[in-house]
């Protein structure tokens, strides 16, 4: 970002700061709902009444209620999402390498199929999956939900990592093979470390997809055993109509990972969105 | 990228160090190992994307009742599910809502996203920071966004009506989500808000790819800003525009999370779409056969669109 602010001094500085002001106004409009979420969360006593534009003080009782009601669900979300990331990367990374490098017959068809999966609506998958999950005993299980959530990230990760692995210089891989490394060792010791960035980007997005998942949580669970926070909040508004403060506090908590990732991993997120558009 | 051992030429790599053994067998073994890398992903995708497609077609000819899950019985019933769904007025309504919702959302997201991309494409202080912060709404779980908007749009105590009342616009009691006439529009507006960041970022990336000289040349020729935008920027941006619209269509047409969070499909089915109807049929009424029928229609719409897209791409590539 530093490189962008030190730009050509030719443009009239006043006009450029005018753009900044306009940009801030646009940002305020776009982020207003998120501000309002935080604002409402800090006014838990307002209940069903009108909410003041600015919180009068730091009333954290909404948050403490949200944590006691939804803390477990946040933890469930975390466990399921981490599990989904592991499954996603374990399956997608070798496939991306194989499709990028081995020149297998049918590679093109597989890549095309991977792109086409984006077309299949999630609710259609859930419709069929629920029935299979009932037969397999995977309904209301952590593992079942992790598998389903991994499906949200796998096609994206394969496409993203493959496009990166295609660009690894062939000499590097050959050098490893001359040193006597087999395909698996070459992959683990040479290819994966070199693909670190695309691996991180894929992992981040797999996490975000899974963390935001609502549909699989809603359809593949019939009891309260495995309840991620998205489902928890959705059912919360049904049961606590008058308690918007804690609903919003729970919403704020559920948005925290996204906010943290945006700040810490901004370059990976930008890369991921750009990479995703290559699809 | 520290590979100090690279003294060998690529040709030396081609000479296999395999001493003895049948080279054919060796090659076959290596091929098998290579397939080992790809196979898990192929199997996974067949199970989680291929199988549901097939299963949905089969299910649409089966009779499911709430009892099915105790008895395990779901006998074939010919085309009963199909005719039941098509005769239900709700299906036509949901289809229409889906089309309106998708078209409206895409139009709004794209136009505003493009305007913002053009805006942020110029350099000004803090532009990069502001641009990346706009992404935040896109990263929040969609259900959560929906719930926040549900509070904002509340008829009596929501901040939007309070604001409009203060400014002197509207009655201050606009039933955004509670009137059957307004609900679909409100849901579209919220979805536009959700989609703007994604559209903006991808279109911004596309704008960055356009060589600056082209704009300068147009300016030298005396073209106005609008003219330059129309005859230089837009044509150059076309491939990115296609990508944005296709990805947008795929994710919008199957919408479910947002509508459940905002209206649950109501009031009076005013925001029922093919996605929510599939959900209602299967997971609320436990009539998975009817759900599968609506789901198949949804797939069919996506497939038709995908074919058009692929064909357009192919002719363009030639």
Answer whether B198's CB lies under 8 Å from B131's CB: no
Q: How far is CA A122 from CA B233, B256, B257, in A?
A: 35, 9, 11
Structure tokens at B257: 């999370």
Name the one residue in this structure whose structure tokens are 């309106």: B100
Is the CB of A119 less than 8 angstroms away from the CB of B69? Answer: no
Those residues with Cβ within 8 angstroms of residue A59's Cβ, 6 or more apart along the chain or in another chain: A42, A43, A44, A45
Residues A24 and A131 in one domain: no
Residue A47 falls within a domain, yes or no? no
Q: Which residues of A touch B250 (CB under 8 A)?
A: 118-119
Answer whether A213's CB lies under 8 Å from A59's CB: no
- Please indicate if any CB of chain B lies within 8 Å of the CB of A62: no
Contacts from B226-233 at CB under 8 Å and sequence distance 24+? B229/B118, B233/B118, B233/B207
For residue B76, the SS3 value is: strand
Those residues with Cβ within 8 angstroms of residue B153's Cβ, 6 or more apart along the chain or in another chain: B160, B161, B176, B177, B186, B190, B262
Residues A130 and A228 in one domain: yes
Residues A14 and A84 in one domain: no
Is the CB of B3 less than 8 angstroms away from the CB of A171? Answer: yes
Structure tokens at B223: 């073209």
Q: Chain A 153-182, CB below 8 Å of chain B: which residues?
A: 154-155, 158, 170-172, 174-175, 177-180, 182
**Over the Cα atoms of chain B, what is R_g?**
27
Is the CB of B282 less than 8 angstroms away from the CB of A127? Answer: yes
3-class SS string, A98-143 = HHHHCCCCCHHHHHHHHHHHHHCCHHHHHHHHHHHHHHHCCCCCHH
3-class SS string, A52-106 = CCCCCCCCCHHHHHHHHHHHHHHHHHHHHHHHHHHHHHHHHHHHHHHHHHCCCCC
Q: How far is CA B243 from CA A63, A121, A219, B305, in A?
A: 41, 18, 30, 13
Residue A172 falls within a domain, yes or no? yes
Tens digits of per-residue pLDDT, B40-78? Answer: 999 999 999 999 999 999 999 998 888 887 777 788 888
Q: Chain A 213-242, CB below 8 Å of chain B: which residues?
A: 213-215, 218-219, 230, 233-234, 237
Residues A107 and A210 in one domain: yes
- Please indicate if any CB of chain B lies within 8 Å of the CB of A144: no
- Structural domains present in chain B: 91-317 (1.10.3720.10)
- Please indicate if any CB of chain A lies within 8 Å of the CB of B103: no
- Please indicate if any CB of chain A lies within 8 Å of the CB of B149: yes
Q: Tell me the shortest Cα–Cα distance from B181 to chain A, in angstroms.
A: 24
- Please indicate if any CB of chain A lies within 8 Å of the CB of B212: no
Residue A54 falls within a domain, yes or no? no
Tens digits of per-residue pLDDT, B201-247? Answer: 889 988 988 888 887 888 788 888 888 888 888 888 888 888 889 88
- Please indicate if any CB of chain A lies within 8 Å of the CB of B135: yes
Is the CB of A177 less than 8 angstroms away from the CB of B13? Answer: yes
pLDDT of residue A257: 85
Which residues, in sequence order, are bridge partners of residue B76?
Answer: B62
Question: Closest partner residue to A175 among B6, B197, B198, by Cβ?
Answer: B6
Q: Chain B 11-30, CB below 8 Å of chain A: which residues?
A: 12-13, 17, 30
Answer whether A40's CB lies under 8 Å from A46's CB: yes
Q: Chain A 242-261, CB below 8 Å of chain B: which residues?
A: 244, 247-248, 251, 254-255, 258-259, 261
Tens digits of per-residue pLDDT, A222-255? Answer: 888 899 999 999 988 876 666 788 889 999 999 9
Q: How many domains does chain A have?
A: 2
Question: Closest partner residue to A97 among B37, B42, B261, by Cβ?
Answer: B37
Is the CB of B124 less than 8 angstroms away from the CB of A16? Answer: yes
Is the CB of A214 less than 8 angstroms away from the CB of B143? Answer: yes
Q: How many CB atoms lie within 10 A of CB B312?
A: 12
Tens digits of per-residue pLDDT, A36-89? Answer: 999 888 887 776 677 788 787 778 888 888 888 889 999 999 999 999 999 999
Domain residue limits at A24: 9-42
Structure tokens at A84: 């989904």
Residues A151 and A272 in one domain: yes
Tell me: cis bond preceding B267? Omega within 30 of 0 counts.
yes
Return the minimum-mean-pLDDT range out of A255-259, B1-5, B193-197, B251-255: B1-5
Residues A37 and A68 in one domain: no
Residues A15 and A106 in one domain: no
Return the minimum-mean-pLDDT range out of A100-114, A263-277, B86-100: A263-277
- As a whole number of angstroms, the longest Cα–Cα distance in chain A is 73
Measure the CA–CA gap between A158 and A170, rounded to whole angstroms: 20
pLDDT tier, A3 (very low <50, low <70, confident <90, very high otherwise): very low
Q: Tell me the shortest Cα–Cα distance from A75 to chain B, in angstroms.
A: 16
Residues A31 and A100 in one domain: no
Q: How far is CA A249 from CA A35, A59, A158, in A?
A: 12, 11, 36
Average pLDDT estimate for A1-24: 64
Closest chain B residue to A158 measured between Cα atoms? B41
Measure the CA–CA gap between A216 and A129, rounded to whole angstroms: 9
Residues A32 and A115 in one domain: no
pLDDT of residue A87: 97
Interface ipTM > 0.85:
yes
Residues A14 and A76 in one domain: no
Residue A143 falls within a domain, yes or no? yes
Q: What is the DSSP string of A146-196?
A: HHHHHHHHHHHHHHHHHHHHTTS-HHHHHHHHHTT--HHHHIIIIIHHHTH
Size of interface A-B (CB pairs under 8 A): 306
pLDDT tier, A279 (very low <50, low <70, confident <90, very high otherwise): very low
Residue A194 falls within a domain, yes or no? yes
Closest chain A residue to B43 measured between Cα atoms? A91
Q: Tell me the shortest Cα–Cα distance from B75 to chain A, in angstroms.
A: 15
Q: Tell me the shortest Cα–Cα distance from A204 to chain B, in angstroms.
A: 11
CATH classification of the domain holding A208: 1.10.3720.10
pLDDT of residue A217: 95
Compare B280 and A56 and report the one with higher pLDDT: B280
pLDDT tier, B29 (very low <50, low <70, confident <90, very high otherwise): confident
Residue A204 falls within a domain, yes or no? yes
Burial class (CB in 10 A: 0-12, 13-18, 19+), B67: exposed
For residue B3, the 8-state DSSP code is -
CA B197, distance to chain mean position in Å, is 13
Indicate the pTM of the whole model.
0.87
pLDDT of residue B240: 86
pLDDT of residue A226: 92
Residue A29 falls within a domain, yes or no? yes
Residues A71 and A113 in one domain: yes
Those residues with Cβ within 8 angstroms of residue B253's Cβ, 6 or more apart along the chain or in another chain: A121, B98, B102, B274, B275, B298, B301, B302, B305
Q: Tell me the shortest Cα–Cα distance from B231 to chain A, in angstroms.
A: 24
Residue A48 falls within a domain, yes or no? no
Q: Tell me the shortest Cα–Cα distance from A18 to chain B, in angstroms.
A: 9
Residues A23 and A72 in one domain: no
């Amino acid at each position: 970002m530093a490189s962008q602010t030190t730009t050509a001094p030719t443009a009239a500085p006043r006009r450029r700061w005018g753009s900044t002001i306009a940009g801030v106004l646009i940002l305020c409009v776009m982020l207003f709902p998120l501000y309002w979420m935080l604002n409402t969360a800090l006014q838990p006593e307002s209940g069903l009444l009108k909410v003041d534009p600015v919180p009068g003080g730091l009333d954290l009782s909404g948050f403490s209620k949200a944590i006691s009601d939804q803390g477990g669900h946040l933890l469930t979300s975390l466990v399921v999402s981490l599990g989904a990331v592991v499954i996603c990367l374990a399956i997608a990374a070798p496939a991306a390498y194989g499709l990028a490098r081995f020149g297998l017959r049918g590679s093109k068809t597989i890549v095309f199929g991977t792109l086409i999966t984006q077309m299949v609506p999630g609710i259609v998958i859930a419709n069929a999956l629920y029935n299979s999950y009932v037969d397999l005993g995977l309904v209301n299980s952590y593992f079942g939900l992790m598998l389903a959530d991994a499906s949200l990230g796998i096609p994206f990760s394969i496409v993203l990592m493959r496009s990166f692995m295609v660009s690894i210089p062939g000499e590097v891989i050959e050098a490893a093979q001359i040193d006597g490394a087999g395909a698996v060792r070459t992959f683990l010791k040479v290819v994966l470390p070199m693909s670190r960035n695309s691996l991180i980007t894929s992992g981040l997005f797999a996490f975000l997809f899974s963390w935001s998942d609502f549909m699989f949580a809603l359809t593949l669970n019939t009891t309260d055993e495995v309840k991620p926070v998205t489902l928890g909040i959705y059912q919360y508004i049904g049961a606590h109509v008058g308690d918007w403060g804690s609903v919003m506090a729970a919403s704020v908590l559920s948005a925290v990972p996204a906010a943290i990732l945006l700040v810490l991993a901004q370059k990976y997120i930008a890369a991921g969105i750009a990479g995703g558009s290559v699809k | 990228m520290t590979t100090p051992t690279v003294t060998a030429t690529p040709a030396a790599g081609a000479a296999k160090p395999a001493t003895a053994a049948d080279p054919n067998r060796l090659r076959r073994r290596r091929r098998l190992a290579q397939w080992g890398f790809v196979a898990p992903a192929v199997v996974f995708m067949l199970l989680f994307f291929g199988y549901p497609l097939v299963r949905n077609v089969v299910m649409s000819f089966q009779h499911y009742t709430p009892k099915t899950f105790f008895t395990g019985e779901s006998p074939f019933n010919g085309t009963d599910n199909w005719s039941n769904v098509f005769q239900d007025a709700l299906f036509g309504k949901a289809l229409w809502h889906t089309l309106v919702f998708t078209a409206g959302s895409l139009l709004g997201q794209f136009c505003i996203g493009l305007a913002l991309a053009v805006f942020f494409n110029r350099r000004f202080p803090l532009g990069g920071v502001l641009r990346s912060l706009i992404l935040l709404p896109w990263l929040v779980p969609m259900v959560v966004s929906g719930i926040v908007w549900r509070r904002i749009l509340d008829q009596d105590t929501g901040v939007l009506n309070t604001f409009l009342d203060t400014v002197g616009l509207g009655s201050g009691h606009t039933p955004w989500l509670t009137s059957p006439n307004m609900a679909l529009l409100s849901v579209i507006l919220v979805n536009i808000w959700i989609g703007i960041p994604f559209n903006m970022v991808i279109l911004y990336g596309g704008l960055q790819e356009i060589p600056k000289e082209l704009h300068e040349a147009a300016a030298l020729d005396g073209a106005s800003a609008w003219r330059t935008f129309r005859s230089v920027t837009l044509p150059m941006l076309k491939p990115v525009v296609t990508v944005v619209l296709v990805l947008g269509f795929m994710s919008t047409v199957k919408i479910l999370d947002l509508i459940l969070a905002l209206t649950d499909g109501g009031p009076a089915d005013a925001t029922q779409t093919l996605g929510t109807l599939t959900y209602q049929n299967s997971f609320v009424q436990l009539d998975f056969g009817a759900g599968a029928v609506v789901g198949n229609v949804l797939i069919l719409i996506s497939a038709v669109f995908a074919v058009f897209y692929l064909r357009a791409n192919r002719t363009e590539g030639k």
